[in-house]
Amino acid sequence: MAYRIVISLPKCHLNEGESREEAELKLLYEVAEILPDFLEERGFTAELSGIPQEEFSDKLSEKVHPYYRDYIATTRPFGYQSLHITLYDNFARCYTEVQLRTKDMDDNAEIGDANHFGYEKRQEADRTRREVIPAGECVFFDEAYERVQKLQNIDLSEIDVNMFRAIDNRMINDGCGLFRGRQILPFEHLSRFQNDLID
């Protein structure tokens, strides 16, 4: 389960000459500052991120920054920016993630250079670069490369697994509504009940 908070200020909320980007970023960090306590009062416990302190913006207080993965202070490849925090839902007994972004950050992540479909396409192109390590130079790489090539060529539309359906290798629904660009292999859905198989 994940939630996203997107900050988008209308022009009428800005003072004369005020930068929309700076105002939205300031508001985003203000929301991030109060979010852990706000959600704790509602049954959630913030999880430590495990990221070293020097990778955080000074816009977060020392009290809360250990809980965040600050991809604004440390922008990811292709300009991906977001604040992520993981929380444990003490009532549902499961984890949830909250992402905080400005509208510009969200646009870049969804339809810009950092969108996941583009990321998958670049990753697919990287996987096919066989010349990085010439054949025969490393037997372990050769075997791993062959396995990846076989996985890339699986026709997912022919796989019969409950809670998984693919029209082709880009139009996929794994039961969670994930589609377009994510190569999801259905093994995580296998159980002794799949398609009436018995141990």
pLDDT digits (tens, 9 = 90+) for 19-50: 999 999 999 999 999 999 999 999 999 999 88
| pLDDT value of position 187 | 46
- pLDDT, averaged across the chain: 78
Give the domain range for residue 185: 116-196
When pLDDT is averaged across residues 155-180 and rounded to a whole number, the result is: 64
Residue that is last in its domain, among 110, 133, 158: 110
> Does residue 127 sit in the same domain as residue 55?
no
> Does residue 104 sit in the same domain as residue 137?
no
> Does residue 95 sit in the same domain as residue 142?
no
Separation of alpha carbons 125 and 55, rounded Å: 30
> Does residue 93 sit in the same domain as residue 121?
no
> Does residue 121 sit in the same domain as residue 84?
no
pLDDT digits (tens, 9 = 90+) for 8-17: 888 888 889 9
Which residues, other chains included, contact 7 with Cβ-Cβ below 8 Å and sequence gap of 6+? 24, 27, 28, 31, 100, 101, 102, 103
When divided into structural domains, the chain yields a total of: 2
> Does residue 79 sit in the same domain as residue 125?
no
Q: Rounded to the nearest 5°, which phi and psi values hold at 17?
A: 80, 0
